[in-house]
Amino acid sequence: MFSCKTIAFIYLSEPSSQFCHKVPIFLFHSVHFLSLGALNFWSVNVHQRKFQNLLKGTRVRNLNRNQIRYYAPALGFLMFAVGVNSSEKDFIEAFKRPDAIFAGYVGQFVVKPLLGYIFGIIAVTVFGLPTPLAAGIMLVSCVSGAQLSNYATFLTDPPLAPLSIVMTSLSTATAVFVTPMLSLLLIGKRLPVDVVGMVSSILQIVIAPITAGLLLNRLFPRLCEAMRPFLPPLSVLDTACCVGAPLAININSVLSPFGLTVSLLIVAFHLSAFIAGYFLSGSLFHKAPDVKALQRTLSFETGMQSSLLALALANRFFQDPLVSVPPAISTVIMSLMGFALVMIWAKKKE
């Protein structure tokens, strides 16, 4: 499934923790608007016809039911590893920082959608891409935070991992209301989000594994102590699967005739979000004693989001397969960039 050219592992040691974190790094002009802020993705121009002809036979693939069934436990294991290395006091302390939680929420559902709208317009006005691709970029910006951001925070700043988990859980829980509103505002189409599915996702991927890790750490500390040396290499393999699986599934969209242009736009989009989260939090919390760690945490929260949810929404509610391309590419780019930052910041801390 994965070749040696696809994945390379770089092992980093973090002196602030009691064990080594192994961080995976993967080698990697017309448009019609319904109104200001609403993209008319139903309009078809010459560019759309050209790209749709190129796309024939290259439908973006979504995760099927069996793949989703394995993907949730894979992310859950990373949350379990965080729980084993945390305590209840860490989460209590996280809730004592409502200003930071609110800042993370604003980064996810205000800053990110604004950037998505800007890059969506750039896609069609500057690069002449078809409007469904712009709709896909905007859709990526409307979804909730990614659980991988919690693990990225855990690798760089373990004490702030609970805060990151609270931020992501809050954005995921409220996405059932916020995502449809943002999609209607930016794209011009209301997308119903499954409330039960969202709650189930939080319980399976976040709450249950973290609770299990906390209880295990509290009731059987010696067992956890024996487990800790094995968690980093297992987490490396787990993270590789979480990033590599979407790449393998959506390789056709990445290698499509317009894949390079969309990839560059997605890179710029996520890079802008990482930078915005870092510097905005720095200006807001410049007096905090852990301002640098907080900047890194809010950068992950702003720059990483649940692109798989955007991909599922695109496949389900949009007839044009082009809408699915940006979310498919984002699942890979977002993870690569996030863990590249983990490597950079971990080395700087050394």
- Give helix 161-186 / helix 98-106 axis angle, nearest 10°: 40
Query: What are the b/e assignments for 30-39, b being 16+ CB within 10 Å?
Result: ebeeeeeeeb
- Give the confidence band of 191 by pLDDT, cuts at 50, 70, 90: low
Q: pTM for the complete prediction?
A: 0.73
Report whether pLDDT(207) > 90.
Answer: no
Q: Of 89, 82, 140, nearest to 270 (Cα)?
A: 140
The residue written with tokens 């496949």 in the block is 315
Give me the CATH number covering residue 304: 1.20.1530.20
Where is pLDDT greater, at 63 or 101?
101
Mean pLDDT confidence for 166-171: 89
Mean pLDDT confidence for 58-79: 59
- Lowest mean per-residue pLDDT among 162-171, 213-222, 290-299, 320-329: 320-329
pLDDT at position 69: 55
Q: Of 343, 320, 315, nearest to 331 (Cα)?
A: 315
> Could you tell me if residue 222 is inside a domain?
yes
Report whether pLDDT(213) > 80.
Answer: yes
> Could you tell me if residue 151 is inside a domain?
yes
Mean pLDDT confidence for 110-117: 95
- Lowest mean per-residue pLDDT among 70-79, 128-137, 158-167, 192-201: 192-201
- Give the confidence band of 167 by pLDDT, cuts at 50, 70, 90: very high
> Could you tell me if residue 253 is inside a domain?
yes
How many CB atoms sit inside 10 A of residue 225's CB?
12
pLDDT at position 259: 76
3 Cβ contact partners less than 8 Å away, ≥ 6 residues apart = none
pLDDT at position 169: 86
The CA-atom distances, in angstroms, between 17 and each of 13, 223, 232, 262, 327 are 9, 18, 12, 38, 34
Max mean pLDDT range (72-81, 82-91, 291-300) = 291-300
Q: Of 291, 271, 293, 273, nearest to 283 (Cα)?
A: 291
> Could you tell me if residue 3 is inside a domain?
no
pLDDT at position 246: 61
Of the chain, the percentage scoring pLDDT greater than 90 comes to 26
- Lowest mean per-residue pLDDT among 6-10, 51-55, 276-280, 300-304: 6-10
| Cβ contact 292:266 at 8 Å | no
> Could you tell me if residue 215 is inside a domain?
yes
pLDDT at position 233: 77
Full domain range(s) for residue 304: 65-347
Mean pLDDT confidence for 134-152: 89
- What pLDDT, in 10s, does the model give residues 239-272? 777 666 666 666 766 676 677 888 999 999 999 9
Where is pLDDT greater, at 179 or 244?
179
- Give the confidence band of 19 by pLDDT, cuts at 50, 70, 90: very low
> Could you tell me if residue 23 is inside a domain?
no
pLDDT at position 40: 36
- Give the confidence band of 54 by pLDDT, cuts at 50, 70, 90: very low
Where is pLDDT greater, at 36 or 168?
168
pLDDT at position 244: 66
> Could you tell me if residue 271 is inside a domain?
yes
pLDDT at position 104: 93
Q: What is the mean pLDDT of the chain?
A: 76
- How many separate domains does the chain show? 1
> Could you tell me if residue 235 is inside a domain?
yes
Mean pLDDT confidence for 299-324: 84
